[in-house]
Amino acid sequence: MVQSLLIAVRMAKLSRGPCVGGWERVRGLSSRHSALCAPQGTVEMRETGAAGAEDPSSPFSRSLIGTFFQDQPLLGNQLLEDALLQGYLRRHLPPEVLGEVCSDLERFSERLCSEIQALGRQCEETPPRLQHYDPWGRRVDRIITCPAWGRMKEISAEEGLVAAGYERTYGQWSRVYQVSKLYLYCPSAGLFSCPLAMTDGAAKIIESIGVSGLLEKPFRQLTSRDPKRFWTSGQWMTERKGGSDVASGTETVAKPQPDGTYRLYGFKWFTSATDSDMTLTLARVADKHGQTLQGSKGLSLFYVEVRDEQGNLNNIEVQRLKDKLGTRQVPTAELLLDGVRAQRISEEGRGVASIANMLTITRIHNVISAVGCMRRIINLGREYATKRFVFGKFLKEHPLHMQTMARMEVETRAAFLLLMELSRLLGREETGCASELELHMLRLLTPVAKLYTGKQAVAVISEGLECFGGQGYMEDTGLPVLLRDAQVLSIWEGTTNILSLDVLRSLAKSRGRVLEAFFTDIKRKLEAASVRPALTPAMKAVESSLHSLGQFAQVSSERGPDFMQLSARDFAYSLARIYMGTLLVDHAAWEGASQSDLCAALRWCEQDLCPVVTKEKTGCYSRDSSAMDTALVYEGSPAVRGRL
């Protein structure tokens, strides 16, 4: 009788949530009872009578720190937990491909949990370090990475994380397969996804130039599945004078050698994955008087093997490793190039145009990372919400919390479909079955997707950390690294503004045809989606935004370059939101679509899909407004006192 009474009291206490103190008073009961009563979390019971704890005579005893310990979020099979990925693959992949791809992704997702996730954590906990000198004073500049980083390289080869894009086992769908695998891998990769991005980009450039002669060996190694042969590549573009404006920021000089090779002399300011086997880099060819041509037309692209056969650096001095906010797993260094042996692989003066192929690939990898990490924080957050008990119920039963997570979900679904559309277009371009319209869409959507998902990732992951309360802010939970790493996604490979200007570059270079393709493609998709009346509100929103955007594009081309530049970011955001809305509508119109797919499309299209038109009405792209921007920012600033 007494027993059941005490248990009832305890249950009453618990419903108001655990209060550690309460436990002590009822300690007298056998431990089995107390464990049973706890509604959530793990109750670690200290065996009563265990040595020390109970012996008041002992001057030494372990601290009693309470019994409640919150269960941590667990990582399940990320393919089986991803309804949208499964739906997308079921909808698009031919039946003869679907089975094979899904079983490989399911197996790989198990490997993520059983092996790769822990390795990624080790890469974060054991960042690379630089040893300048050996014990006897010789300068060695050895970048020492942790064993897990080396193991990640082997696994990347075994799993064909780059090779899959070039083996083309599944024809035009090979990129969709590769990108799906990288999307699952990225959040667990310990940022090995970074060298993989540049490795894929380097293979792309070599393939576009032609896999022959000196480039045959590197291409085979970059696309090898053999861990002993697999090579990674760097992408050395950024110098002290600048990373965005390489045309005026590149000082590195390439001195021709009698044997047709070159020696590079210069200083690279931000070189990621500096432990890679090879790199592609920009430099200015010196003429016989040592003079070089300035500007973009003076830049050529060079292939460099970072070490010789003996493993010695190729006349490169590693000045220091960068102290970064995130991506600390990746060795990023400042390098002095003091006669680096190199081969020119682009026409002289066509360096930027040639490396643009690499930028397209690395920017798509940037999108993979953004979307993969958004999906990961949601998957961990929703799992945690089933075991975190607050205010008398689990987090998942709190409507406000679920509303917040649903908004993160809609953002992530829109970004995912944009990523997959990019991969589908890239796969068609590389297998020669892309139409002119699709080629234009690939050129336009690459910068749009990179700039928009880079921003989304930081916003969604920041919101995601809050889903864990204070634990989202504790490094040892392995959660904050997702946000720290995400911050780079809107900076490297071209900042948000630089890529907004690249959108304008694509319009100018294609004489507007990329925009015509954009309009045509959307109209086709909306027409096909009209079979689903429930989507009407979303379709109407996309149609009216598209119409407004069309009018804006008309006006802006007449208003001149300053106006277009000032509106570039909002214009790119409008392209992103309208196209993501279209893709959500298109996916929700598929006969296999779920209620959630429909809901995501409707909710996405409730927002302002065309911010450039909304903003334009405020006159914020006018010269006066631009002058006011500067005045606003510099009011009181000594830097420009009296000069505005």
Residue numbers at the binding site for ligand UCC (CB under 6 A): 193-194, 197-198, 235, 237-238, 243-244, 246-247, 272, 296, 352-353, 356, 359-360, 362, 365-366, 369, 492-494, 498, 502, 505, 509
Q: Which is nearer to ligand UCC, 365 or 577 (CB)?
A: 365
Q: Which is nearer to ligand UCC, 345 or 588 (CB)?
A: 345
Find the shortest distance in angstroms from Cβ 58 to ligand UCC: 54
Q: What's phi and psi for 340, nearest 5 deg?
A: -70, 130
371-388 b/e (C-beta count within 10 Å ≥ 16 → b): bbbbbbbbbbbbbbbebb
Do the Cβ atoms of 518 and 447 come closer than 8 Å?
no
Find the shortest distance in angstroms from Cβ 475 to ligand UCC: 20
Q: How far apart are CA 625 and CA 644, in angstroms?
A: 14
Do the Cβ atoms of 162 and 222 come closer than 8 Å?
yes
Q: CB neighbours (10 Å) of residue 45?
A: 14
Q: Which is nearer to ligand UCC, 197 or 568 (CB)?
A: 197
Find the shortest distance in angstroms from Cβ 574 to ligand UCC: 19
- Widest distance between CA atoms in the chain: 102
- H or E, element range at 321: strand 316-321
Q: Which is nearer to ligand UCC, 191 or 546 (CB)?
A: 191
The angle, 0 to 180 degrees and rounded to 10, between the axes of the packed helices 595-604 and 399-430 is 90
Q: Which is nearer to ligand UCC, 238 or 548 (CB)?
A: 238
Q: Which is nearer to ligand UCC, 274 or 545 (CB)?
A: 274
- 3-class DSSP state of 299: strand
Q: Which is nearer to ligand UCC, 179 or 395 (CB)?
A: 179
Find the shortest distance in angstroms from Cβ 242 to ligand UCC: 9
Q: CB neighbours (10 Å) of residue 565?
A: 16
Do the Cβ atoms of 310 and 288 come closer than 8 Å?
no
Closest CA to 85 of 66, 55, 108: 108
Q: Which is nearer to ligand UCC, 277 or 383 (CB)?
A: 277
Q: Which is nearer to ligand UCC, 306 or 541 (CB)?
A: 306
| Cα atoms found within 13 Å of the Cα of residue 468, Cβ hemisphere only | 26
Closest CA to 195 of 225, 169, 230, 228: 230
Q: Which is nearer to ligand UCC, 354 or 548 (CB)?
A: 354
Given the DSSP bridges, would you call strands 253-256 and 278-285 parallel, antiparallel or unpaired? parallel
For ligand UCC, which residue has the nearest CB?
296
Given the DSSP bridges, would you call strands 262-272 and 253-256 parallel, antiparallel or unpaired? antiparallel
Tokens of 81: 């937990």
Q: What's phi and psi for 339, nearest 5 deg?
A: 90, 40
DSSP state of 114: I
Do the Cβ atoms of 88 and 586 come closer than 8 Å?
no
Q: How far apart are CA 291 and CA 288, in angstroms?
A: 7
- 3-class DSSP state of 112: helix
Find the shortest distance in angstroms from Cβ 142 to ligand UCC: 21
Q: Which is nearer to ligand UCC, 197 or 202 (CB)?
A: 197
Q: Which is nearer to ligand UCC, 204 or 401 (CB)?
A: 204
CA dihedral sign of residues 606, 611, 613, 616: positive
Residues with Cβ within 8 Å of residue 262, at least 6 apart in sequence: 254, 255, 256, 283, 285, 302, 341, 342, 343, 344
Find the shortest distance in angstroms from Cβ 345 to ligand UCC: 15
Q: Which is nearer to ligand UCC, 430 or 597 (CB)?
A: 430
Q: How far apart are CA 174 and CA 164, in angstroms?
A: 7
In order of 327, 335, 491, 591, the CA distances from 271 in angstroms are 13, 8, 14, 47
Find the shortest distance in angstroms from Cβ 352 to ligand UCC: 4
Residue type, 326: G
Find the shortest distance in angstroms from Cβ 194 to ligand UCC: 5
